[in-house]
Amino acid sequence: MSLVQVLNLQLFSDEQGSLVALEENNNIPFAIKRVYYIFGTKPGVVRGVHAHRNLKQVAICLSGSCRFVLDDGINREEIVLDCPTVGLIINDLCWREMHDFSSDCVLMVLADQPYDAADYIHDYQDFLLLTKQI
Ligand code: TYD
């Protein structure tokens, strides 16, 4: 299965404009424990560059664009997020990097766990060990 899995979110568009609704355990495939968003990213900045032991997330680029790199220890795939109706699913034990943020990028992330600094894997070799790729 492809590393890049996306949710195509239903768009409610009318003469007023556009609306997307997110519901836990419905179009978002988990109970949402946390929401955060990244914006005002300076030129050339790379964010992420880590994996999580136990965390599922859906990333939605509400404005502008950025490029995600996902890596499961075997394959590395990329996707440009530039549409607020596309949600990128990021599963457990997936190395993620975010590059090429546009100055107007607002990246919202929904997560199935509260923030836990201990859940982060910051070292790529540790990540490979955990995924048993070395
Ligand atoms: P971090 O996850 O390191 O961001 P990135 O990997 O995208 O560079 O988070 C940056 C800071 O924000 C760090 O000090 C932890 C804090 N933070 C929270 O307090 N709660 C959260 O839910 C997240 C994602 C980060």
Residue 107 has pLDDT above 90, yes or no: yes
Q: Given this model, what pLDDT does residue 73 score?
A: 95
Minimal CA–CA distance to 108: which of 52, 57, 70? 57
Q: What is the mean pLDDT of residues 117-124?
A: 98
Amino acid in the structure at residue 43:
P
Q: Is the pTM of this model over 0.85?
A: yes
Residue 14: burial class (beta carbons within 10 Å; 0-12, 13-18, 19+): exposed
Which residue of 50, 112, 119, 123 sits with most ligand 1 atoms within 8 Å of its CB, as the best mutation to test the pocket?
50
In the residue annotation, 52 being an active-site residue is answered as no
Q: Whose CA is nearest to atom 3 of ligand 1?
A: 48
Distance 18 CA to ligand 1 centre (A): 30
Mean pLDDT, the chain, rounded, equals: 97
For 46-89, what is each residue's pLDDT tens digit? 999 999 999 999 999 999 999 999 999 999 999 999 999 999 99
Q: Given this model, what pLDDT does residue 132 score?
A: 87
